[in-house]
């Protein structure tokens, strides 16, 4: 390099600097932006869903029950004591009964929002096919009773898949996997079946002579579509059992 100019071994200027000093810079930026095909371009889609601590809502639920029953019983006692259509406070009995029954219906509606989660479970919230959020962690939680809720196991699963190839050859994959991005669970009906299909597609794509690294890369791409990560992969080659 002479006076800040990069030269070739023969003393000539670099071709990029002969034309435009910043041509190589633009080319380098273009190369950096070229993401390999096996790297998924979409990142995690999981987000925290709305919920209220279950014990807090349960206390409010108990208070509403007492309030509803108190309203109904007070009206009944007033009717028995006076024998008229109005209670001691002048409020019609029918209004008191309506208030009590409305409160009971409200209690039943709130009851539908409770869900009990284990520490290795997640609760996925959806509405009309749209993902709303995920609740993680164990305990009693309360969510909107008008939306769909689905529990997903977060512990590690294991599956073995054998895929036959031409020439009586086969490949067997032992894969330990777990759900990492529950935001993509809305497109998965059954995780066991979806993971099995992803492994079979990966084996079929890489072929019988693929290296474990090639299989791992392809499998990660297929599993990433459904929000699953392989924690341990063992690939064995053999012959199809007759």
| Residue 164, token pair as written in the block | 């036959």
pLDDT digits (tens, 9 = 90+) for 145-184: 999 999 999 999 999 999 888 767 889 999 999 999 999 9
Same domain, residue pair 117 and 172: no
Q: How many CB atoms lie within 10 A of CB 194?
A: 19
pLDDT at 132: 94
Sign for the CA dihedral angle at 30, 32, 35, 41 comes to negative
In a domain, 42, yes or no: no
Q: pLDDT over 90 for what percent of the chain? A: 53
pLDDT digits (tens, 9 = 90+) for 100-147: 888 999 999 999 999 999 999 999 999 998 999 999 988 999 999 999
Nearest to 157 by CA among 124, 120, 187, 126: 120
DSSP 181-238: -GGGGGG-S-HHHHHHHHHHHHHHHH-TT--HHHHHHHHHHHHHTTTEEEEEEEEEEE
Same domain, residue pair 105 and 147: yes
pLDDT at 31 over 80: no
Same domain, residue pair 129 and 86: yes
- Report how many domains make up the chain: 3
pLDDT at 40: 38
Domain's final residue, options 113, 128, 153: 153
In a domain, 39, yes or no: no
Same domain, residue pair 68 and 140: yes
pLDDT at 92: 63
3-state DSSP percent of the chain in helix, strand and coil, to 5: 40, 30, 30
Same domain, residue pair 161 and 149: no
Nearest to 54 by CA among 132, 117, 126: 117
Q: Where in the sequence is the domain holding 75, given as residue range(s)?
A: 52-153
């Amino acid at each position: 390099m002479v006076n800040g100019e990069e030269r070739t071994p023969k003393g000539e200027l670099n071709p990029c600097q002969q034309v435009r000093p910043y041509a190589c810079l633009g080319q380098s930026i273009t190369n950096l932006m070229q993401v390999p095909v096996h790297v998924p371009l979409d990142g995690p889609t999981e987000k925290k869903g709305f919920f209220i601590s279950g014990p807090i809502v349960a206390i409010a639920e108990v208070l509403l029950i007492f309030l509803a029953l108190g309203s109904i019983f007070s009206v009944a006692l007033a009717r028995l004591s006076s024998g008229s259509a109005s209670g001691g406070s002048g409020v019609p009995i029918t209004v008191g009964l309506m208030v009590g029954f409305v409160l009971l219906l409200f209690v039943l509606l709130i009851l539908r929002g409770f869900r009990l989660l284990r520490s290795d479970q997640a609760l996925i919230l959806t509405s009309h096919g749209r993902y709303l959020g995920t609740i993680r962690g164990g305990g009693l939680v309360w969510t909107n009773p008008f939306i769909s809720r689905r529990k997903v196991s977060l512990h590690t699963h294991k599956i073995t898949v054998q895929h036959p190839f031409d020439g009586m050859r086969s490949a067997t994959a032992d894969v330990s996997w777990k759900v990492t991005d529950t935001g993509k669970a809305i497109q998965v009906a059954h995780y066991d079946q979806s993971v099995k299909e992803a492994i079979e597609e990966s084996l079929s794509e890489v072929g019988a002579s693929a290296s474990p690294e090639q299989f791992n890369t392809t499998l990660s791409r297929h599993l990433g579509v459904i929000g699953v990560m392989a924690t341990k992969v063992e690939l064995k080659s053999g012959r199809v059992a007759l």
